[in-house]
Amino acid sequence: MHQPVSPVTIAQGLDELWSPRVIAELDDAYVKVAKVFGTFGWHAHAEEDELFHVLAGSLRIELEQQTAVVLQPGDVFVVPKGVRHNPVAEAECLILLIEKKSTAHSGDQTFAHTRSLDEQRRPLQKTAGQQA
């Protein structure tokens, strides 16, 4: 288990949109990757900050109290706890997330695409790019 992982390779290999997968953990935080496309939905995490890092593509994060931000590959943005936000990808986008382990996928909302922490922690299928 203690081997390097490639977030981009893992994210590229995901079949399901808006379905984050845990790729690493440190202390009280998970590092996750996801493949996204379309609109996620407005929600907030009352107790947790949420870090977005775009690996490929472009992600717009609409925010209740300020103008939307647009993240390009390499960009990082933290949504502070309690701030309502709505991630939108106009085209397929790969993201990395750093979140407290307690963070619920869609915060105070439940969507059809909301994933439980157990689903996010499922073992990843090995792909050609990540075989040891």
Residues of the shown chain interacting with Ni ion in the complex, contacts defined by CB under 5 A:
50
Choose between 14 and 50: whose C-beta lies nearer to Ni ion: 50
CA-based nearest residue to 93, from 79, 111, 73 = 73
3-class DSSP assignment, residue 117: helix
Choose between 13 and 87: whose C-beta lies nearer to Ni ion: 87
User: Residues for the chain: how many in total?
Assistant: 132
Compute the least distance from the CB of residue 99 to Ni ion, in Å. 8
Quote the CA–CA distance of 132 and 107 in Å, as a whole number.
35
Choose between 50 and 53: whose C-beta lies nearer to Ni ion: 50
Choose between 11 and 45: whose C-beta lies nearer to Ni ion: 45
Compute the least distance from the CB of residue 52 to Ni ion, in Å. 8
Strands (E), the chain: 21-26, 29-39, 50-56, 59-63, 69-71, 76-79, 85-100
Compute the least distance from the CB of residue 42 to Ni ion, in Å. 10
Compute the least distance from the CB of residue 48 to Ni ion, in Å. 9
